[in-house]
Amino acid sequence: METELHGFSYSVYTWIVRFALLEKSVKYHSIEVNPFSDSGHPAHPFGKVPLLIHNGFRLYETSAIIRYVDLAFPGPSLQPEDARGRARVDQIISIVDNYAYWPLVRQVSSHGYFNKAFGLEVDHSVLMAGLDAAPKILSALDGLVAEQGLIKTGQLSLADIHLGPIISYFNMAPEGAKQLKSYRQLSRWWGAISKQRGVEKTMPKLPRLK
């Protein structure tokens, strides 16, 4: 079976797919695409990443890709069997995509970590907007992460895999790390997730803040 992952090294969503592929022990070819170029990804109708190709089947949208990876490849199931458990996983994934990604990654992580680390301009108003939006998101997740996946069952779920890289990027910003400590269940969950081999082996190589 030929599997290709088209993605960008620093993309948090590409990282999520790498994490899922590793957990299912999928061998794949990695193709680097910069979605921030003028044209973006030519094979993606919206010019974005990631994009998965498996035996000619082309799929984009991260949540669809990781669900497909779980079902299409052998290995441990990454989704609960019961309706409530699966609904909780889907709920967390939806919160990440609809509410968490922009403030936690594009605002806090980008301006609290990435721009500083790469010597780019930091917009403190954007950073503060993300920090102001974060508590509602972190509070919602704090009440959900212990009800599924690694903390509850000892086994990773797609919710853990989808949320882990997002929280990792948020935590790289000192301001984000400080906020995260206020949420007991989420901090406990992050402590467990951050020790997983999937996080370590698929994390982008990034510079440390000085």
pLDDT tens, position by position, 48-97: 899 999 999 999 999 999 999 999 999 999 999 999 999 999 999 999 99
Whole-angstrom distance, CA of residue 170 vs CA of residue 180:
9
pLDDT in tens, 120-132: 999 999 999 999 9
Write down the pLDDT at residue 34. Answer: 87
Which residues lie below 8 Å from residue 207, measured CB to CB, with a gap of 6+?
117, 118
pLDDT-flagged residues of the chain (< 50): none
Distance set, CA 101 to CA 12, 72, 176 (Å): 9, 26, 13
Domain boundary assignment for the chain: 3-72, 83-202
Q: Is the CB of residue 52 less than 8 Å from the CB of residue 13?
A: no
Choose which CATH entry (3.40.30.10, 3.50.50.60, 1.10.10.60, 3.40.50.300) describes domain 3-72.
3.40.30.10
User: Which amino acid, residue 122?
Assistant: V
Q: Is the CB of residue 35 less than 8 Å from the CB of residue 41?
A: yes
Write down the pLDDT at residue 47. Answer: 82
User: Which amino acid, residue 172?
Assistant: M
Whole-angstrom distance, CA of residue 201 vs CA of residue 199:
6
Domain 83-202 has CATH 1.10.3720.10: no
